[in-house]
Structure 1
Amino acid sequence: MTRFTAKRLPSHRGQAAWSAILGPQPPAVPLEGSQTADFVIVGGGFAGLSAAERLLQLQPDARVVLLEAGRLAEGAAGRNSGFMIDLPHDLASDDYAGSGDDRKIIDLNRKAIGFARDAVNAYGIDANFFDPVGKVNGAATPAGDAHNQSYARHLATMGETSEMLDAQAMYDLTGSRHYTSGLYTPGTVMLQPAGYIRSLGEALSTRISLHENSPVTGFEKAGSDWVVKTAKGSVATGRIILANNGHLESFGFARGRLMQLFLFASMTGELDADALKALGGQPRWGITPSDPMGTTMRRIDTGQGGNRIVTRTCAVLKPEMNPSEAENNRAGRVHRQKFDERFPQLAGYPMEYKWAGHLCLSLNGVSVMQEVEDGVFSACVQNGLGTARGTLTGMGAAELACGESSEITAHFTAEDAPKRLPPQPFATIGANVYLRYKEWRAGAE
């Protein structure tokens, strides 16, 4: 009998702030007993919910069961920075320019954004959760400015527009004198990621069977069907979509080929009237660092869960997928320093939340969006681009599961397999030393 058993289940460090600031969710409905379905989706993040929406577009009468290990938006989908980026954003590069066909990547990313925008409009999702305002690559040093200039030239070769901002414009935007320049690009959507995911899940739950707090412990072949198992239930189905990103490896697929990376973030408490006056700047903005290993900053306002600032930096490779409290605390100290450097007028302002978010990358930057076993389809390995890439792989896996082909399926199924990693423990030790070096080199960025 063909059987796949989960080697580990998702675990998280710190509270998922994006969801917490929206208030409590309705009670979860875990899977209990036996069910049947045409499709079972494992994972309720960007990939899983996008797969569900695409399945219903292709087969409106299909019986779809979605199983989420925890609560919607409290896993990786609610632990990112909320940037849905249309342009190349290669985290392994110096200036985000990709090494492949960037024109194709832009076109695909815009398909993902369009798909998400259609869902927002179709389901009446709060516009505060999907804000198409663009973003800025902030620079604080001559090297950072050079990265931005290089990236702007690269974009210009593809006919993509961008705007260089000087130090005064950056101050007017952010209230910070830290930034000496910036590169504005208009195509990024700033998500309240938990708001988007929770709203999309609520809308889809009227059309599919959505079960939270239902981690999948394994699945096995039983005749012509697969039986997907949780602690208290099971679903018999002909087709499975694995939309669980790095936990694809937990079921034995791509083992020894995936890098399980964690990025850390902190979020302030709600800024009071005195803090808002001292801060100045605009009420909403997003700053990605000109050096990909620098510090991401984001300000949100009352429509997204209160006037707050998010700081995100520090990365660690954790093959066991379980960052420690010590690592979370170390990142929190770095966030405190980075925040105070940028906003001395708010130095020491309390951080209400700090957390770790799980990313999955491959050495050669490819995803795993293909049929990995007869009737089992993967929408995984987002390479740190979970909002757009997750949406795309979810759409593509749904199309493959329905026997459909598209530009999305053609792109991802033509990719090479993830490269094999060096043997352990050398891969982890070497990678973490390299990450610390890259963080040090990013410096003020």
Structure 2
Amino acid sequence: MNLSYWEQKSWFSNIDFTIVGSGIVGLNCALELRRMHPKARILVLEKGKLPQGASTKNAGFACFGSISEILSDLKTHSEQEVFQLVQDRFDGIKYLRALLGDNVIGYQNNGGHELFLNKDVALYESCLGQVEYVNGLLRPVFGKNAFKVLPNRFKFSGINGNYISQIYEGQIDTGKMMYSLLQLSYQKDINILNGTEVKAFEDSGAEVLVKTDDMDFTTNKLLIATNGFAAQLLSENVEPARAQVLITKPIKGLNIKGTFHLEEGYYYFRNIDNRILLGGGRNLDFKAEETTEFGNTHLVQNKLNQLLKTVILPEQSYEIDYSWSGIMGVGQQKKPIIKQVSDNVSCGVRLGGMGIAIGSTVGKNLANLIA
């Protein structure tokens, strides 16, 4: 890159902290670093025009885990580990709301409802039989019973007669949330450069050489917050997981309100601006969706359309407006990876599809780890 003296001096000299990724984790990390170091030079690098990955592409669920997800996690995690996962999600959402404000992020607490298809009667009965147990396990987090059995008030088709609802689950406007984080970062004199992809780094012990797609520079500390793209820079247990999403055009008289989960959370939908937003389906072909490539597949899109027609909007006409995809970071464990990689390099990755819930606190904890 042909840098002028002014560009080198103003943007790439004497950098204290460089953060890779301008998503929820990266920006919250930058804001926490600014709080701790008012005079530090902080640089955030983003390869896309907007934050890539999932931060501006997610469904906007402020969720803690549906009951079938909690019970599934208990098969591979201890009770204490699951309790801590939910506690971290609860604390993370509370922190995000306090940082930006409910009105700014469009936060609404309409509850989260798990639906069980007629074919999943065994799963429904199993979850129904363990509501009391899960409520007891998580009562210290919420202070009251979080899960309740509620009737099918929105008249979805082809499901068992009741929902198992998480009464504290909420929803946000993802675009407003990320826009507000960006504006707050600018106000705090945090420099954000888009269109700059980090290809590699070298920690000499005294400083870190950062190699981008068109230039190199040095920084005192490097923090990696690329989540689903972590494997491109790190050797950690993080795999990309593509999530495909579609949204309808506005539907006159739409009375559906809340966040909804199907099949252990592999499908999810919500209301937004008199539309239905529906996503999921990577369970149809896990291998194909283990990718960092954005895009949609006929297999998943056909399934999402089928759910719209037969379950969600069986007696209403609608049109699909458009669709998109995001890249999450997942692994064998649900706990995020927040660790020091070398003397001057740390990472905060593997959010497991819970970026809204834990992204803010992962970023904050990452900043505290390296600083």
TM bin (shorter chain):
0.7 to 0.9
Q: 2:48 matched to 1:70? A: yes
The partner residue of 2:150 within 162, 165, 175 is 165
Amino acid at match of 1:133: N
1:346 aligns with 2:313: no
Offset of residue 94 of structure 1: 3.8
Q: Tell me which residue corresponds to 1:425.
A: none
Which residue of the partner structure matches residue 226 of structure 2?
A: 244
**Compared CA separation, residues 49 and 220, structure 1 to 2 (3 A):** same
Q: 2:185 aligns with which of 204, 209, 231?
A: 204
Cα offsets for 1:403-442 (capped at 9, x unmatched): xxxxxxxxxxxxxxxxxxxxxxxxxxxxxxxxxxxxxxxx
Change (3 A) 1:375 1:95: closer
Gaps of 5+ in 1: 1-30, 302-306, 403-445
Displacement of 1:370 after TM fit? 0.5
For residue 387 of structure 1, the aligned residue among 340, 356, 360 is 356
CA displacement at 1:114 relative to structure 2:
2.0
Aligned-pair RMSD on alpha carbons?
Answer: 2.9
Displacement of 1:323: 4.5
Q: For the residues of structure 2 that align with 1:97 and 1:72, how far apart are their CA atoms?
A: 37
Give 1:215's match in structure 2, choosing from 197, 207, 225: 197
Task: Please say if 1:321 is aligned against 2:300.
Answer: no
Counterparts of 1:97 and 1:131 in 2: how far apart (Å)?
A: 31
* CA displacement, residues 262-297 of structure 1 (integer Å, 9 cap, x when unaligned): 2211111233xxxx23x4x24x321012x3154211
Note the residue ranges of structure 2 that are not aligned, 5 or more in a row: 1-8
Provide the rounded CA distance (Å) in 2 between the counterparts of 1:59 and 1:230: 25
2:278 is aligned to 311
Give TM-score, length-normalised by structure 1: 0.70
Match of 2:91 in 1: 111
Check 1:145–1:371 CA distance in 2 against 1; reply closer, same or farther (3 A cut): same
* Fraction of identical pairs, as percent: 19
The range that moved more, 70-79 or 94-103, is 94-103
- 1:88, 1:98 within 8 Å by CA — same for their partners in 2? no
The aligned residue for residue 417 of structure 1 is none
Q: Describe the SS at the equivalent of 1:40.
A: strand
Distance 1:295 1:247, change over 3 A: closer
Q: Contact 1:261–1:318 at 8 Å: present in 2 too?
A: no
Alpha-carbon distance in 2 for matches of 1:72, 1:91: 31
Contact 1:46/1:197 (<8 A) preserved: yes
Which whole-Å CA distance do the structure 2 matches of 1:204 and 1:265 have between them? Answer: 28
Structure 1 CA distance, aligned partners of 2:87 and 2:70? Answer: 21
Matches of 1:392 and 1:244, distance apart in 2: 15
Question: Partner amino acid for 1:85?
Answer: C
Per the normalisation by structure 2, the TM-score is 0.83
- Output the CA distance in 2 between the equivalents of 1:96 and 1:222: 42
2:108 is the counterpart of 1:131: yes
Tell me whether 1:288 sits opposite 2:268 in the alignment: no
Sort the Cα spacing of 1:288 and 1:203 in 2 relative to 1 into closer, same or farther, 3 A: same
Q: Which residue of 2 aligns with 1:358?
A: 327
TM-aligned CA deviation for residue 185 of structure 1: 1.6
- Residues 28-55 of structure 1, C-alpha deviations (whole Å, 9 max, x = no match): xxx9963332111111111111211222
Q: 1:149 aligns with which of 106, 128, 146?
A: 128
For residue 235 of structure 1, report the CA deviation from its aligned partner: 4.4
Q: Are 1:336 and 2:305 matched, yes or no?
A: yes
* Aligned equivalents of 2:94, 2:214: Cα separation in 1: 38
Residue 297 (str. 1) matches residue 276 (str. 2): no
